[in-house]
Structure 1
Amino acid sequence: MSVGVLGRLMWALLAAGVGAFWMCRARRPDAKLSASLSLVKALGFACLALSLFWAVVWFAIACLRLTYPFELEWIGGAMRDHVERFLHHQPFYVPPGGGWFPYEYPPLYPWVCAKLLRWFPLPAFVIMRGVSIVSTVGCAVLIALWTKRLTAGATQTAFWALLAGGLFLAAYRVTGAWYDLERLDMLFLFLSLLGIYALDKGWVGTVVASVAFVLAFFTKQQAVLFIMAAALALWYLRNWRSLYLLLGITGLGCVIPLLLLNQATHGWFWFYCFRVPLANGIHAFLALLFLYNDLALYAPLIVLIVLVWKQAGHQMPLSEKTLLFAMSTAGVLGSWLSRAHWGGDQNVLMTAYLFIGIMACTYAAYTVEAYPHLLPGLLSLTLAQFVAIAYNPFAQIPHRQNREAGQRYLREVQTLERGGEVLCLDHGGFTVPPHFQIMGLLDVLNTLHRVPLGLAQALKAKRYSAILTEGLPGAHDAFGRMLYAFYRPVQSQYYTASWVVTGFLTPSPRRPVYIWRPR
């Protein structure tokens, strides 16, 4: 654990402890605690100011990174290859072999990006990031609108709704700096939130919500949790018409296309999107990490929720309370399961942090109605949460050395391609034709427990004139043994900077680029 992460956790826990102590004392009948009006106004202004500040900071970072010509995150280049497959009408879910094969994702995000690329002659990365940026703005708007509706029975609805949206945008870095990446997560989150927001608006809203959930499912499989949560909430409320509509539309909308896609791809759609993720299983250590590391960072808001949920719950309408609880449970559970899943990066924390923020702001708004003297404590805990997730904006922006590193790698690949086909294991988007990326290969290896036949044949035939890896693979794993049998590392290059600026920063001096040649 780095010093920075430890410092954040210590601050979050300390602030939560102090806030809990003050709130508990303030709720005692004999309490004589009081706060001046100027202090309350100052705390409220500070929270609103930080909401606006982090919203502007995120948008500025997103604009600065929009036209960056290389992948911002190390799987981004391979995601661009996914888009290119749709753009050129090439088969998508194909057997794993020596060429290209996909990640464990449904097809909606790359399909949407490919459609937009046909309409707008822009670089693929610009379109892909543009979809994420627009989706993120949509998420912030929906969070504010839903929180405002949830707090309709309180007087400070707009204030707490703005804080909920601000907390979401402020969590940009602690969720991996993912809001503007060439990845599918933000489109999935927008569609899920659209479904949640529309669900409680009569039968028309239920239809809109059902369609949104179906689209979210074909963006990321985790949408199943929100569909289940919506169904349970409607069942608990005895809203039978909406429940039947939801189950009918989402059932048919998910199952029929799934069967058609699976048939059209000879079963490979099911293999990549369901068999591969399930093969990774749940790891106890990672599940515990979520509890004592990831949730601990949001200790101020979690303490707020625990201290006031009874008071707020008594005042909230049953339908709003039920929907908020069901969706928050689904969001936190989704983050927990994904974090416990091998390969679950910080981006999977988005749903947990998002719903914790919405629940905290909603409960705070109702609590102030009955216990206005608790407002300073509620604002202090919210302010402490903003401090706990603060970050250095400049660390997320690519610099000249990052661009130079990407250009150097691209020149090396293009030089090697003059001698034949080149396989870049760690990065997509650099070779012609494109190939699988190492994470996709590891997922397949973990599922099949062997090297795919097509790849084994390609290595034995020495199909590639050169293979680029970052670091040396293990000599005892299945792929490593085969690679060492038919290729040998002949050259290594060291990079002082990486063109990747988000997530796993690679290559690095500790992970030099090795060039392998046939034996």
Structure 2
Amino acid sequence: MPSHTDNNGNLQLGGIARAFGIVAAAAAGLYIVTYLCVALLRIPYPFELEFMEGDSVDQVWRVLHGQALYVPPSVEFVPALYPPLYYYIGAAVAYVMGLDMLPLRVVSFLASLACFSLIGSFVWRESRDRLVALLAVGLFAATYAESGAWLDTARVDTLLVMFMLGAVWWVRFGRGKWPHVAAGILSAAAIFTKQTALLLPLALFLYLLLMRRNRAAYFGIAFIVAFGVPFFLLMNASHGWFGLYTVTIPAAHPWDKLMLLSFWTQDILLPLPIAFTLVFFYLILRWRERRRDDWLFVLLVGAGMIAAAYAPRVKAGNFDNDLVPAYAFLALVFGAALADLRERIRRSESSQRSTAGLLHALLMLLVVVQFASLVYHPSRMIPSAKDRQAGMELVRQVRAYPGPVWVVHHGYISVMAGKAPLVTMQPMQDLLAATDERSREMIVASVEDVLRRHSFDAIFLNEPWPEQLRGVECYEAKRAVFADTSCFWPVTGYRTRPELVYEPIRTTCGSQQNQEIE
């Protein structure tokens, strides 16, 4: 029979566990609210938060003007190396809201809210534990800084994860034909948002084949149709350029060998040691207890979502945004694992109450420590009033030239200045580094032609020209763009901004006549 002292000790441990639970819930809520505040403060910012956001605006500009995305490369346009779904959705929103950064960020922001909802709903359906569902959503929100403060940017990644989580949710909880059809369609949508999602539908189909064979066909047929028909149409309409830009060139990117291991050590274990450990032990426990449906689901979904992060992360040009799918998966299973451990502790209370209370307190303390390890400074992610003023001054400088102006790294600035956008540096560099000699020579020849003809009144350049380009000697640096060295830098991603204005050298390089690009 337990003594009065034992009962007091158990009550104290229970109180400590509840206190840690409250602290963890407060931390989760704080991370969610912090993300929402940061996003709402910076979504209206009219300039790039990350240096390739402008390329997304350029893609949408072409869609709204009825122009194809996957075309032969020229100085007028080279597409980003992504499938088109994000840009089509962004164009639909921009048609209503107007073309700038705002509609694309709205798409990403709404997708991030959908991700929160899917993670919370998934964990709730698995556990019926509201606290743990909140903690899972909070953990995903807490990885915002670790994944490059990317969720609300005008980039494809958040929409990708929304489609992936949607497919996972329907496969896990769908009990009829149509949920599995929906999962197949969402899996295809994920790939047409970012091609790194390719392994997830294969993983989900294998899970269904092994565990719910009568539903696998619905998923498989829906996926094949939803993926195959648009792929065929895009390949046919683009005369094969779609495949070059979205498959051939990305596949040829060189490996970043350091990331092969540091992905696991620096990107996963360092920021999420406790969450990863809980997920790992959850998988082992389910396997040892022969709960095949659970461990197989976690293993295969993990393979699909982590592969969507690992594949681009180990290639040259990677950045922290590649990690969003992996962090979403870990948050999802972290919630399920935490709920499972809490339930095991509750079941053991009748026979080992003091031990159960201690374990519960330690478990919730570990959750608090995990949240504490992800603290970040949100003010660094919000552009300043000085950044906005510098951007408006840049637009004024571009608008001041009567003829065409090439803002080489930021085509959207030309649109803001009332001029047509032109090819930007990142897609050009992708082509220049590609193994496809034909496309590489096409962009080199196109750029050389317009430079030698002095087709631009001015060129705004961030950094030195790639050495493969010809004709750059026809322009000379005239002045700096900004006098202030501290303004107009992106708040995430590669640190770059326009630095020098180049103007034609009129005595060289052929015709002195300024010839506009149609």
| TM category, shorter | 0.7 to 0.9
- Partners of 1:79 and 1:428 within 8 A in 2: no
Higher relative contact order (CA 8 A, sep 6+): 1
Q: Does 1:457 align with 2:449?
A: yes
TM-score, scaled to structure 1: 0.86
- Partners of 1:214 and 1:250 within 8 A in 2: yes
Q: Distance in 1 between matches of 2:12 and 2:276?
A: 23
Count residues in correspondence. 473
In the superposition, relative to structure 1, how do residues 236 and 256 fare at CA in structure 2: closer, same or farther (>3 Å)? same
Q: Does 1:347 align with 2:321?
A: yes
TM-score, scaled to structure 2: 0.86
Q: Does 1:80 align with 2:57?
A: yes
Instruction: Structure 1 unaligned segments of length 5 or more: list them.
Output: 1-31
The aligned runs of 1:179-258 (5 Å cut-off) are 179-200=151-172, 201-202=174-175, 203-237=177-211, 239-258=212-231
- Give the AA of the match of 2:54: G
Higher alpha-carbon deviation: 465-474 or 53-62: 465-474
Q: Does 1:261 align with 2:234?
A: yes
Q: Distance in 2 between matches of 1:342 and 1:461?
A: 34
The aligned runs of 1:242-391 (5 Å cut-off) are 242-295=215-268, 296-313=270-287, 317-372=291-346, 373=356, 374-391=359-376
Q: Does 1:423 align with 2:406?
A: yes
Q: Does 1:38 align with 2:15?
A: yes
Q: Distance in 1 between matches of 2:157 and 2:279?
A: 27
Residue in 1 that maps onto 2:513: none
Q: Distance in 1 between matches of 2:84 and 2:310?
A: 24
Q: Does 1:162 align with 2:134?
A: yes
The superposition leaves residues 25-47 of structure 1 with CA deviations (integer Å, 9 ceiling, x where unpaired) of xxxxxxx9997122111111111
In the superposition, relative to structure 1, how do residues 463 and 150 fare at CA in structure 2: closer, same or farther (>3 Å)? same
Q: Distance in 1 between matches of 2:61 and 2:120?
A: 35
The superposition leaves residues 102-148 of structure 1 with CA deviations (integer Å, 9 ceiling, x where unpaired) of 10111111111211232x24453221111111111110010111122
Cα offset for 1:503?
Answer: 2.1
Residue in 2 that maps onto 1:497: 487
Cα offset for 1:164?
Answer: 0.8
Residue in 1 that maps onto 2:106: 130
Cα offset for 1:323?
Answer: 1.9
- Give the AA of the match of 1:76: E
Cα offset for 1:218?
Answer: 1.3
Q: Distance in 2 between matches of 1:473 and 1:382?
A: 49
- Partners of 1:312 and 1:367 within 8 A in 2: no
In the superposition, relative to structure 1, how do residues 460 and 515 fare at CA in structure 2: closer, same or farther (>3 Å)? closer
Q: Does 1:403 align with 2:388?
A: yes
Give the 3-state SS of the residue equivalent to 1:226 in structure 2: helix
- Partners of 1:96 and 1:455 within 8 A in 2: no
Cα offset for 1:344?
Answer: 1.8
Q: Percent identity?
A: 26
In the superposition, relative to structure 1, how do residues 515 and 460 fare at CA in structure 2: closer, same or farther (>3 Å)? closer
In the superposition, relative to structure 1, how do residues 71 and 227 fare at CA in structure 2: closer, same or farther (>3 Å)? same
Give the 3-state SS of the residue equivalent to 2:411 in structure 1: coil
- Partners of 2:462 and 2:499 within 8 A in 1: yes
Q: Distance in 2 between matches of 1:316 and 1:179?
A: 37
In the superposition, relative to structure 1, how do residues 89 and 260 fare at CA in structure 2: closer, same or farther (>3 Å)? same
Q: Distance in 2 between matches of 1:269 and 1:496?
A: 39
The superposition leaves residues 165-222 of structure 1 with CA deviations (integer Å, 9 ceiling, x where unpaired) of 1111121111111111111211111111111101131322101111111222211112
Q: Does 1:177 align with 2:149?
A: yes
Residue in 2 that maps onto 1:146: 122
> Which of residues 437, 448, 462 is equivalent to 1:470?
462
Give the 3-state SS of the residue equivalent to 1:491 in structure 2: strand
Cα offset for 1:343?
Answer: 1.8
Give the 3-state SS of the residue equivalent to 2:258 in structure 1: helix
- Partners of 1:74 and 1:504 within 8 A in 2: yes
Q: Distance in 2 between matches of 1:82 and 1:130?
A: 16
Q: Distance in 2 between matches of 1:232 and 1:282?
A: 29
Cα root mean square deviation, aligned: 2.3
> Which of residues 74, 77, 81 is equivalent to 1:104?
81
- Higher gyration radius (CA): 2
In the superposition, relative to structure 1, how do residues 224 and 34 fare at CA in structure 2: closer, same or farther (>3 Å)? farther
- Partners of 2:58 and 2:412 within 8 A in 1: yes
Q: Distance in 1 between matches of 2:228 and 2:453?
A: 41
Give the 3-state SS of the residue equivalent to 2:410 in structure 1: coil
Q: Distance in 2 between matches of 1:516 and 1:247?
A: 56
> Which of residues 500, 505, 508 is equivalent to 1:513?
500
Give the 3-state SS of the residue equivalent to 1:99 in structure 2: coil
- Give the AA of the match of 2:449: Q
Give the 3-state SS of the residue equivalent to 1:111 in structure 2: helix
> Which of residues 20, 26, 31 is equivalent to 1:54?
31
Give the 3-state SS of the residue equivalent to 2:477 in structure 1: strand
The superposition leaves residues 57-98 of structure 1 with CA deviations (integer Å, 9 ceiling, x where unpaired) of 111111111221212211112211111111121222111111
Give the 3-state SS of the residue equivalent to 1:468 in structure 2: strand
- Partners of 2:208 and 2:216 within 8 A in 1: yes
